[in-house]
Structure 1
Amino acid sequence: MRIPRIYTEQALASNTELELEEAPSHHLIKVLRMAVGRSLILFNGQGGHYDAEIIASTKKYATVKITQWHQQDNESPLNTTLAIGLSRGERFDLVLQKATELGVTSIQPMFTERTEVKLSGDRLNKKFLSWQKIIIAACEQSGRNILPTLKSPIHIQDYFTQERDQQQLKLVLHHRNSSRFSELEKTDDICLLIGPEGGLSQDEIDLAHKHDFKNLSLGPRVLRTETAPLAALAIMQQCWGDF
């Protein structure tokens, strides 16, 4: 039987006992129906993971005994930033989940000219927490022990004013060009910029060019906003990462 991996925000140490937060406790007790004596793996995003065992449970909380620590690094050697326009419905959720599985390092959601999602205030805060949960679940499933950084959504114009590493390869992905991966030099640090449904406007692409972003295309077919970044990330891992 597969041993579940559980994320906690708490500090972890061998040979200690810990009461898990309500959400992971609910998942263990109510969803997985795990009883006292069952084994699990704990990680807190600091690298590595711990073996643990459930030693007590109530209706809301599970208490575990933490045993051995394992230094396991499943992170990609390729540092990738995904700057992507917010999309509607479950499309953005899918991108977060799969990009995490593909080893993305950080994700910058953006409001662009063609973004149709309207988020602000409490609604934005709730959505951000929901996105964070998706990333945590993807790390639990994929074996990552370090969470990719999820940045607060910003307008694309503000994104371009941020300082960046001059050595980073910056790519703007759109179908109105013919540049290919085969034309790029090997690198270990990439920023990939992509728009929402309908893509980036020509003004936004021009602005990207002014900030040293190079064109990148994935071929003659127009890919959906949830398909294109995942295809690009997978190719990057094949070319320069650990695929």
Structure 2
Amino acid sequence: MVEPLFKTTLGSPVVDGIITLSGSEGKHAVSVRRMRVGEGIQLTDGRGTRVRGLVDSLAQNSLTVRISEVILESEPEAKLTLIQALAKGDRDELAIQAATELGAWGIVPWQSERSISRWEGAKVSKGVERWQTIVAEAAKQSLRVFEPVVAQPVSSKQLATMIGSFDLVLVLDPTAKVGLGNVDLSGENVAIVVGPEGGISDSELALFEEAGATRVNLGAPILRTSTAGVAAIAVIQAKLGLWS
């Protein structure tokens, strides 16, 4: 059985040392997951450290872990950033959740021209906090020890100025002549731009191309905003050898 993963502050963990898991994570481990003494458990700081151990003792809303292994995982050679347009309902949230499970390194909310959902005023901080919670839970669910960081939302003009900071930016566009499978994926920092339900406007496509982005299609099927980025990440991860 694979040990569940919980996020906490680790300090400087050492084998045979003791770590206390408290707060909301400790309460979840005790009350929801119903961890028991002697069961295997994993802890992480969300920044690359994985601690394995056994539950040593239980309290009402916390537990202690006897450390059996400390692993410092390396950052991936290629870091994938999902630039996801805000979408109605929970479609954008479904997208970032699945993208995290598939290994997305960063998440950027994008207020596109055709986004029906709008983050304005107090909604901005609430939206970023909500998305960060979603990716944090997805990272734990998939046993990832690197938690993606959700950036502040950007406009189309701001996104265009960001394009140069990546080695490669792929804009998903059904009308593009080049398929994703034919793109050279060289570079350490790759971004994937996913539009809203109504698609990316012609003016935005022109703006991004002028800034250095590459338009690519995902074949004949037209995918929803909740699945397009996920499909693209899966293709890229396969080409990079993640599942080889």
Task: Name the TM-score class by shorter chain.
Answer: 0.7 to 0.9
Report the Cα distance in structure 2 between the residues aligned to 1:182 and 1:67, rounded to whole angstroms.
Answer: 43
Report the Cα distance in structure 2 between the residues aligned to 1:163 and 1:118, rounded to whole angstroms.
Answer: 22
Q: Post-superposition shift, 1:182? A: 4.1
Cα 1:139–1:94, aligned 2, differ >3 Å: closer, same or farther?
same
Report the counterpart of residue 180 of structure 2 in structure 1. 181
Alignment of 1:28-39 (within 5 A): 28-39=29-40
Report the Cα distance in structure 2 between the residues aligned to 1:112 and 1:83, rounded to whole angstroms.
Answer: 11
Deviations 1:16-65 (A, max 9, x none): 43332422112201111113343311111232311233334333333334
8 Å contact kept, 2:48–2:146: yes
Which consecutive unaligned segments of at least 5 residues does structure 2 have? Answer: none
Report the counterpart of residue 168 of structure 2 in structure 1. 169
Report the counterpart of residue 17 of structure 1 in structure 2. 18
Structure 1 vs Structure 2 CA RMSD? 2.3
SS in 2 for 1:226: helix
Q: Post-superposition shift, 1:99? A: 0.7
Report the Cα distance in structure 2 between the residues aligned to 1:186 and 1:209, rounded to whole angstroms.
Answer: 17
Report the counterpart of residue 154 of structure 1 in structure 2. 154
Report the Cα distance in structure 2 between the residues aligned to 1:163 and 1:208, rounded to whole angstroms.
Answer: 8
Q: Which moved more, 1:21-30 or 1:130-139?
A: 130-139
Cα 1:94–1:40, aligned 2, differ >3 Å: closer, same or farther?
same
Report the counterpart of residue 196 of structure 1 in structure 2. 196
Report the Cα distance in structure 2 between the residues aligned to 1:104 and 1:29, rounded to whole angstroms.
Answer: 30
Alignment of 1:1-243 (within 5 A): 1-14=1-14, 15-73=16-74, 76-162=76-162, 164-165=164-165, 168-189=167-188, 190-243=190-243
Aligned residue identity for 1:234: A
Report the Cα distance in structure 2 between the residues aligned to 1:120 and 1:20, rounded to whole angstroms.
Answer: 36
8 Å contact kept, 1:187–1:240: no
How high is the TM-score relative to the length of structure 1? Answer: 0.88
How high is the TM-score relative to the length of structure 2? Answer: 0.87
Aligned residue identity for 2:103: G
Report the Cα distance in structure 2 between the residues aligned to 1:39 and 1:240, rounded to whole angstroms.
Answer: 32
8 Å contact kept, 2:132–2:149: no
Aligned residue identity for 1:6: F
Cα 1:188–1:197, aligned 2, differ >3 Å: closer, same or farther?
same
Report the Cα distance in structure 2 between the residues aligned to 1:153 and 1:111, rounded to whole angstroms.
Answer: 7
Report the Cα distance in structure 1 between the residues aligned to 2:67 and 2:126, rounded to whole angstroms.
Answer: 32
SS in 2 for 1:93: helix
8 Å contact kept, 2:5–2:43: yes
Deviations 1:149-191 (A, max 9, x none): 221212221122237346x122211112221134322414322
Report the Cα distance in structure 2 between the residues aligned to 1:122 and 1:57, rounded to whole angstroms.
Answer: 40
SS in 2 for 1:178: coil
**Identical counterparts, % of pairs:** 29
Cα 1:228–1:193, aligned 2, differ >3 Å: closer, same or farther?
same
Deviations 1:184-224 (A, max 9, x none): 22414322112111111111111111101111011222110
Report the Cα distance in structure 2 between the residues aligned to 1:183 and 1:37, rounded to whole angstroms.
Answer: 50
Which consecutive unaligned segments of at least 5 residues does structure 1 have? Answer: none
Aligned length: 241
SS in 1 for 2:30: helix
